[in-house]
Amino acid sequence: MKNMKKPLSVGMCALAGILSVLLLTLLDQYTKFLASLSLSGKPSIVLIPGVLELKYLENTGMAFGLLSGKKVFFLVMCILFFLLGIYLFFRIPKERYYLPLLLILFLMQSGAVGNFIDRAWRGYVIDFIYFSLIDFPIFNLADIYVVSGSILLILFVCLIYQEDDFSFLNPRNKG
């Protein structure tokens, strides 16, 4: 446990975060670019018959088409989410014990940035991964980042961290 409280360099954490978000966002944008070139206006590409397809969709809403056309709402929410992430980065203690939280934060921020870029630049998000087996809404890598990060966050909060481990969230605690 003593080793888990070993301090990490704030500068190195920030650099790792910036590089992680940049790399994951570039990967997301590259796959969307490829999807646009290869799939737009064309039939879907079946990868596993009856299970998985690549299928182009310009999504102005979120999953299941909810809040379709609410571009300003989504842009504001992405900005607020990103600002919350920056706030949390500075609040989370830079110790090995909290490294999983930092990595989850970077993963989720990458997803928010990737879809923000689409909404701000194109006015819609490019989705292209479709699980036809369960007729799941079409999604993209940025969505995978956010959902995976959310699942990991829930698992770590429920199984690893204790309530006391989140005292850094108390504004009175300068942590």
Of 118, 143, 164, 165, the catalytic one is 143
pTM: 0.89
Task: Name the amino acid, one letter, at 161.
Answer: Y
Identify the pLDDT of residue 70: 77
| Average pLDDT of span 107-112 | 96
| DSSP symbols for the chain | -TGGG-B--HHHHHHHHHHHHHHHHHHHHHHHHHHHHHHTTSPPEEEETTTEEEEEEEESSSGGGTTTT-HHHHHHHHHHHHHHHHHHHHHS--BGGGHHHHHHHHHHHHHHHHHHHHHHHTSSEEEEEEETTTTPPPB-HHHHHHHHHHHHHHHHHHHT--GGGGGGGSTT---
Of 118, 127, 135, 164, the catalytic one is 127
The tens digit of pLDDT for each residue in 118-173 reads: 999 999 999 999 999 999 999 999 999 999 999 999 999 999 999 999 999 887 77
In terms of average pLDDT, the best of 11-15, 23-27, 119-123 is 23-27
Say whether 143 is catalytic.
yes
| Average pLDDT of span 82-91 | 92
The tens digit of pLDDT for each residue in 51-66 reads: 999 999 999 877 656 6
- The values of phi and psi at residue 126, to 5°, are -85, 120
Identify the pLDDT of residue 2: 47
Say whether 118 is catalytic.
no
